[in-house]
């Protein structure tokens, strides 16, 4: 047996786990906001029309799905699953930021989405390095 067989497979770094738990908590809150009380984040929003219910409800379900994927990944301590989840979230955050910029211009919401995407890119890059180390251990 080689020495590599005794190396432990690397797990999700602690700082990325903490960041993921923050995303899970924030995502759970925003699931509630979008699904049941959008006026918390959007002062003029209501759930009186079908299109508003469908739009906010759909966004809430998307958020809940992302939270569930984050939760499964961090509980399983699987850097590959978390990396894939974060990459999909990066595209969602950047897409929402572009849409917000196109519809409303530069707003605190668009800025927050860009900052969130930047932190998710940071976490994904840390996980990319972990996965690279795991691949090298297999060889």
* Domain boundaries defined on the chain: 13-138
Q: How many angstroms separate the CA atoms of 64 and 84, rounded?
A: 16
The pLDDT value recorded for residue 88 is 96
Q: How many angstroms separate the CA atoms of 62 and 27, rounded?
A: 10
Q: In 10 A of CB 89, how many CB atoms?
A: 20
The per-residue pLDDT for range 97-137, each reduced to its tens digit, is 999 899 988 988 889 999 999 999 999 999 998 876 555 55
What letters, b where the CB count within 10 A reaches 16 and e where it falls short, cover 7-41? eeeeebeeebbebbeebbeebeebbebbbeebeee
Q: How many angstroms separate the CA atoms of 104 and 107, rounded?
A: 7
The pLDDT value recorded for residue 41 is 81
The per-residue pLDDT for range 57-101, each reduced to its tens digit, is 999 999 999 999 999 999 999 999 999 999 999 999 999 999 989
Contact in structure between 86 and 123 (CB atoms under 8 Å): yes
Q: In 10 A of CB 117, how many CB atoms?
A: 20
Q: How many angstroms separate the CA atoms of 55 and 48, rounded?
A: 12
Q: What angle do CA 67, 62, 94 make, to 5 degrees?
A: 90
């Amino acid at each position: 047996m080689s020495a590599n067989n005794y190396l432990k497979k690397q797990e999700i770094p602690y700082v990325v786990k903490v960041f993921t738990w923050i995303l899970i908590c924030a995502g759970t809150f925003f699931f509630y906001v979008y699904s049941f009380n959008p006026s918390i984040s959007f002062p003029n929003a209501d759930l009186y029309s079908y299109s508003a219910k469908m739009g906010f409800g759909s966004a809430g379900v998307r958020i809940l799905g992302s939270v569930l994927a984050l939760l499964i990944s961090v509980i399983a301590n699987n850097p590959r699953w978390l990396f894939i989840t974060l990459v999909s979230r990066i595209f969602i955050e950047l897409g929402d930021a572009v849409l917000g910029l196109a519809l409303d211009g530069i707003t605190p919401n668009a800025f927050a989405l860009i900052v969130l995407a930047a932190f998710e890119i940071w976490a994904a890059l840390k996980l990319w390095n972990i996965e690279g180390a795991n691949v090298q251990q297999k060889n």
